[in-house]
Chain A
Amino acid sequence: MTENTVQTTTGEQNVPETRAEEQTLRPPVDIFEMSDGLVVVADLPGAPKDQVDINVHEGVLTIHGKVKQETVGTPLRNEFELRDFYRQFRLTDEVDTENIRAEMKYGVLTVTLPKAEKAKPKRIEVKTSS
């Protein structure tokens, strides 16, 4: 699994292939491998569950979280960047794309990418003839 830098609309490789008008924010992620698949954890604070769009298209996993902008008073301190979260990763064919699951909790997205059958280690019985 590699990051799909070409299509990411943030960072130095700023090639907005998606032609997204607004700038997006690259959410930090943790990706680790479990015995049955990969787990992607992304911090998307402020993005409600129904505003998070995850899809896999042509082997590219896209995470897009929309954040609503709201300002009520005079800003005294401004550290947030209220922009949409957007990041893409290229998946290998070792991922079973049909069974990807995603869960959103307290602004943290967890995507579970199960390994395809062919990527699972196969046990080969060795027969010995005595």
Chain B
Amino acid sequence: MASLKPTEWRQRLGRLREDLANTVDQWLPERARSTEEMESPPWPDSFMTQGGPKLDVEETEHDIRVRAELPGMNKEDFSAEITGNRLVLRGEKKCSREETKEGAYYYAECSYGSFVRTVPLPCEVNTDEAEGEYKNGVLKLRLPKTEEAKAKRVNVEVS
């Protein structure tokens, strides 16, 4: 009966999703991957059952700010990395209850399992100066734009 527990199949689904994403990545030529349209997951509606943690991305003059909802994770349970113009968040949300293996569920709405989310960034960022903060289950990243990216911004005066 263990395989029927929602947490189990969610975890499996998370792993399957990551495998699929990796496979698709191998097939796609580098060129296609770097386009802005490319973002994972291509299938909507699934964190763990809903497409990974929810993300907010904001752009200011000097940096890109990213916020991700990662409730219930230790700092060691997730990672954020930047490859080219993509930010990759991956991690695993563990179910605290699994340690006890006791009791019956009345509600099982929280999502658990592993996830990976890839977000295209609008410009080059200076990875050396990127900062992160994890507080109250929310990860905040500040990714400063490179000087080149700032310079590319052209103000066009319209008369």
Q: A35-60: contact bitstring with B at CB < 8 Å (1 yes, 0 no)?
A: 10011011111111100000000000
Q: Which residues of B sit under 8 angstroms from A105, Cβ to Cβ?
A: 72
B32 interfacial by beta-carbon distance below 8 Å: no
Residues of A within 8 A of B107 (CB): 29-31
A80→B58 contact, CB < 8 A: no
Q: Roughly how many angstroms separate A33 CA and B107 CA in the complex, as a whole number?
A: 10
Q: Determine, out of B15-23, B108-116, B148-156, the stretch whose residues face the partner at the interface.
A: B108-116
**A28 to B109 CA separation, bound complex (whole angstroms):** 5
A30 is contacted by which of B64, B65, B105, B134 (Cβ under 8 Å)? B105
Is the interface on chain B under 10, 10 to 19, 20 to 34, or 35 or more residues? 35 or more
With both beta carbons as reference points, the residue of chain A lying nearest to B70 in the complex is identified as A45
A77 touches B56 (CB 8 A): yes
A-binding residues in B (CB < 8 A): 54-61, 64-65, 67, 69-74, 95-97, 100, 102-111, 119, 122, 134-138
Q: 23 A-B contacts, Cβ less than 8 Å apart?
A: A28-B109, A31-B107, A32-B97, A34-B102, A34-B103, A35-B102, A41-B110, A42-B110, A45-B71, A45-B137, A48-B136, A73-B59, A73-B61, A74-B58, A76-B57, A76-B122, A77-B55, A80-B55, A80-B69, A107-B69, A107-B137, A108-B72, A110-B96
